[in-house]
Amino acid sequence: MTAKKALITGITGQDGSYLAELLLEKGYVVHGIARRASTFNTQRIDHLYEDPHDPQARLFLHYGDLTDGTRLANLLESLQPDEVYHLAAQSHVRVSFDEPEFTGNCTGLGTTRLLEAIRSVGLSCRFYQASSSEMFGAAPPPQREDTPFHPRSPYGVAKVYAYWATRNYREAYGMFAVNGILFNHESPRRGPTFVTRKVATAAARIKAGLHERVYLGNLDARRDWGYAAEYVEAMWRMLQQDAPDDYVIATGVSYSVRDFVEQCFEHVGLDWREHVCFDERYLRPTEVDNLVGDASKAERLLGWRPTVFAPELARLMVDAELEALSHPKVPAAQTPERGVLASLVV
Ligand code: NDP
Ligand code: GDR
């Protein structure tokens, strides 16, 4: 039997790296789209690197960008994937207030470009859209699939557009297109400017005596934090169903940012009040106060349920930071001959 072929946009991001791992374990051939940067951006997938000259290789990278629809269409035409996981986005909520136009172009319109590329090439692949709990924004918890959206940032607005684009292509063209509405999910691979990773890094570095304090914004916001490695399994399950549908993925429990800070600092035996300072730079013009997802539909239909909740996540992330401090590593992709970028060199 020929292996299934998947295409992942955003493969160099947190979720892309876990999903690539999962699909390779399941025997897929995995193609990823990475954007060209002046520095290497493949650190999260370097450990999956396979020499593309090896006939057994099953991971391949291609340059591409969500703002370049022609490139997306050409790639789809040549790769002919069975499943497309669309994870790429300008994904930072605070940054979306500074760059609303780019966020709309990349995070919103990028999804239409990809859907339209699939349609124009005539592919019958399955399509996953990385929708977000940020679409619910100000809607009171618990939020579920039929909760009305009330986004509170240019990022949330762009994700609502992409959500409806995905549904419209499903309804208009019969495409197998699904929205995974994922609540916050974190890991040691989380981008360093998201609050959980920022706090876990700070707790470890302060413990090691490398820093004295960390500056944060709103500590009252509440989030439903799960573990990214578990959430990518739900993405895959959504594309294995008989019919396309939309699903909330969440833990069902929310904690405040302050709770998460306390859990991280407690884990290294420090009092967070002595090290956390306020900086209004990290506030948002409009905030999302409280997200708590109801993932009962996913549990019923996908058989998916989380096992890692925020307190364990905090410990796991702080431990990873402590471990990294005790074993500083030279990133594998410092030379194109060694890293994943070998397959990207043109
Ligand atoms: P990351 O920010 O870690 O990864 C985003 C990925 O998108 C990176 O690979 C990035 O490339 C790529 N990217 C950004 N802009 C472009 C562009 N113009 N063209 C091509 N690629 C681009 O996000 P996560 O992995 O955390 O999230 C994955 C997806 O899920 C995102 O769409 C996010 O909005 C959404 N989401 C995330 C949640 C979470 O809690 N993590 C919750 C709900 C939804 P590079 O590495 O070069 O920056
Ligand atoms: P979020 O994640 O906006 O929920 O979006 P983030 O970790 O950025 O913020 C969570 C909450 O923490 C508060 N906060 C701070 N946030 C950051 N980044 N830095 C700080 O210093 C800080 N201090 C307090 C924020 O105000 C907020 O309330 C994430 C992204 O991954 C999105 O792409 C995804 O769609 C949603 O989760 C679900």
Mutate to test the pocket of ligand 2, among 97, 195, 224, 290 (most ligand atoms within 8 A of CB): 195
Q: Is the pLDDT of residue 260 over 90?
A: yes
User: How many Å lie between the centroid of ligand 1 and the Cα of residue 246?
Assistant: 20
Contact 161, 201 (CB under 8 A): no
pLDDT at 62: 97
52-89 tens-digit pLDDT? 889 999 999 999 999 999 999 999 999 999 999 999 99
Q: Is the pLDDT of residue 106 over 90?
A: yes
155: annotated active-site residue: yes
Q: Could you tell me the pLDDT band of residue 341, with boundaries at 50, 70 and 90?
A: very low
**Which one is catalytic: 28, 49, 85, 155?**
155
User: How many Å lie between the centroid of ligand 2 and the Cα of residue 151?
Assistant: 14
Provide mean pLDDT across the span 296-302. 98
Alpha helix (H) residue ranges in 209-295: 228-239, 257-267
Mean pLDDT, the chain, as a whole number?
95
Read off the tokens for 242.
């008989």
Ligand number, closest to the Cα atom of 281: 2
Specify the pairing of strand 177-182 against strand 247-249.
parallel
Q: Is the pLDDT of residue 1 over 90?
A: no
User: How many Å lie between the centroid of ligand 1 and the Cα of residue 37?
Assistant: 15
Of all residues in the chain, the percent with pLDDT exceeding 70 is 95
Q: What is residue 196's three-state secondary structure? A: helix
Per-position DSSP letters for 50-75, written without gaps between them: --TTSTT--EEEEE--TT-HHHHHHH
**What fold, for 5-343?**
Rossmann fold (3.40.50)
The amino acid present at 11, given as its one-letter code, is I
- Which protein residue has the closest C-alpha to ligand 2 atom 29? 184
Read off the tokens for 131.
């929708």
The amino acid present at 236, given as its one-letter code, is W
pLDDT at 108: 98
132: annotated active-site residue: yes
pLDDT at 52: 82
- Whole-prediction pTM value? 0.96
Contact 190, 228 (CB under 8 A): yes
Give the Cα-Cα-Cα angle 57, 75, 28 (nearest 5 degrees).
35
- Number of other CB atoms surrounding residue 6 within 10 Å: 28
Give 310: exposed, middle or buried? Use CB within 10 Å, 0-12, 13-18, 19+.
buried
pLDDT at 50: 82
Q: Is the pLDDT of residue 335 over 70?
A: no
Residues with CB under 6 A from ligand 2: 91, 93-94, 132-134, 183-184, 193-195, 198, 216-218, 221, 223, 257, 282, 284, 287
Q: Which of 184-193, 201-210, 329-338 has the lowest mean pLDDT?
A: 329-338
pLDDT at 334: 43
Mutate to test the pocket of ligand 1, among 91, 157, 230 (most ligand atoms within 8 A of CB): 91
Query: How large is the ipTM?
Result: 0.99
Alpha helix (H) residue ranges in the chain: 14-25, 69-79, 93-98, 100-103, 110-121, 154-173, 195-207, 228-239, 257-267, 296-302, 310-326
168-185 tens-digit pLDDT? 999 999 999 999 999 999
